[in-house]
Structure 1
């Protein structure tokens, strides 16, 4: 099941951490490790930390120029964060993330878990690309984990949840959940539509869109529901362009 799980390292600063993350992935049966804009990545420095367990994974690393491209095909995208509050709402634990990811993984859907750079983590802009945010509980005295440690915790929870589902009887194939790219296209259409009807204000519309994003991410939008909402946006655009439909009740 975990062949559809991707660990995404966004702008990792230290090659040694990438190597250690590769070993953590290998230990838990995760076979896809993606790097986005790594800082001077050096395979020779990564190999000793990967050891033989993660060495094969290092040989097939996937590189992407942007975070959006790295997660475009995923139906579920989890972003990890040590910072809480402000824009970062609806935080869940690694265990909760794994439980919600398993049905998608079991159905053959793709899931991505995103980790930010070691010194700063994911910015507010980057967390908007993630459907849910995950925080690993720690002591208040030391809230920041090493990158590879965080990867191991997330992979371990995914491994536990996935192996707990082995042997369950197969049910009907569930409807496909929207991919990240479809999700972002819908949010863009909703943003334009809600601005056009003055439901959200033009001063910082991304902030006012946050509750909409969180709601849609919670319900796990299916492909046919995505098509329905896109159709609603197109119809509103048409109605506004034509001056609105006339009242047919008179």
Structure 2
């Protein structure tokens, strides 16, 4: 399993190329998004407005190092020159924009390249028009982000966030979350059988299931417990309930006698 430093090293081979950006604030938000998912470096190709002080507030302290190390180039070609794969993003379809893939499909291929230590670029167009057909000539893959038909245009920083998130998830072992960090171990077959016998007897004692055919009536409950993926601490809770039922049945019997 790869550690955080190895994941970060791979993500640094991913260039986020922002082409002819208009608003420094979007650059700052893109820097923050990149910081959240491994610090992929930012490249500004032919920026129309690049004002560090305006980008800094939206970058926050997390994205500031990326702003401090940002690379400004005079052309798209210069920004992507060493990359073995260039992925362009577009909201428009048709014409020269054929064979589009989703961010998740692109991320799978991008991750393969990053694991090998190859440089990859994802290009994002200006806020008003997106990437031009000339820009897309530099791209080996075209990605479109599926949206509602009546609102297909995304904010630049939102598009960056979605793309880098998918790339981060696609890396091996990058984002594996323990779904049950505080749970005890699963019960063994022996423990399961012991719980079922105890619970079945307790339910018979209180008259919930008949004694003449208890297995038939207990089966749905057994299936329920099996679907619940029972843990040892949960078994202990139900064993405690069974003991209480046995205690109450015993007290009732004593009162009658």
TM-score tier by shorter-chain length is: 0.5 to 0.7
- In the TM superposition, residue 31 of structure 1 has moved relative to its aligned partner by 3.0
How many residues are aligned here? 167
**Residue of structure 2 aligned with 1:25, choices 29, 34, 37:** 34
- In the TM superposition, residue 142 of structure 1 has moved relative to its aligned partner by 0.5
Alignment CA distance shift 1:156-1:138 (3 Å): same
Matches of 1:35 and 1:12, distance apart in 2: 8
In the alignment, is residue 36 of structure 1 matched against residue 45 of structure 2?
yes
In the alignment, is residue 140 of structure 1 matched against residue 136 of structure 2?
no
Matches of 2:29 and 2:100, distance apart in 1: 26
- In the TM superposition, residue 30 of structure 1 has moved relative to its aligned partner by 2.7
CA contact (8 A) 2:20 2:44 kept: yes
Residue 160 of structure 2 corresponds to: 151
Residue 248 of structure 1 corresponds to: none
Matches of 1:92 and 1:119, distance apart in 2: 22
In the alignment, is residue 6 of structure 1 matched against residue 15 of structure 2?
yes
Measured on the aligned residues, the alpha-carbon RMSD in Å equals 1.4
- In the TM superposition, residue 12 of structure 1 has moved relative to its aligned partner by 0.4
3-state secondary structure, aligned to 1:129 = coil
**Residue of structure 1 aligned with 2:82, choices 60, 73, 82:** 73
- In the TM superposition, residue 68 of structure 1 has moved relative to its aligned partner by 0.6
Residue 127 of structure 2 corresponds to: 118
Matches of 1:131 and 1:148, distance apart in 2: 22
Matches of 2:68 and 2:141, distance apart in 1: 30
CA contact (8 A) 1:90 1:133 kept: yes
3-state secondary structure, aligned to 2:43 = strand
**Residue of structure 1 aligned with 2:115, choices 106, 117, 121:** 106
Matches of 1:114 and 1:32, distance apart in 2: 12
CA contact (8 A) 1:30 1:155 kept: no
- In the TM superposition, residue 164 of structure 1 has moved relative to its aligned partner by 4.0
Matches of 1:103 and 1:68, distance apart in 2: 23
- In the TM superposition, residue 150 of structure 1 has moved relative to its aligned partner by 0.2
Alignment CA distance shift 1:98-1:39 (3 Å): same
Residue 92 of structure 2 corresponds to: 83
TM-score, length-scaled by structure 1:
0.65
Residue 60 of structure 2 corresponds to: 51
CA contact (8 A) 2:21 2:49 kept: no
CA contact (8 A) 2:91 2:152 kept: yes
TM-score, length-scaled by structure 2:
0.63
- In the TM superposition, residue 22 of structure 1 has moved relative to its aligned partner by 0.4
CA contact (8 A) 1:6 1:30 kept: no
Matches of 2:149 and 2:173, distance apart in 1: 31
In the alignment, is residue 15 of structure 1 matched against residue 24 of structure 2?
yes
Task: Tell which structure's C-alpha radius of gyration is larger.
Answer: 2
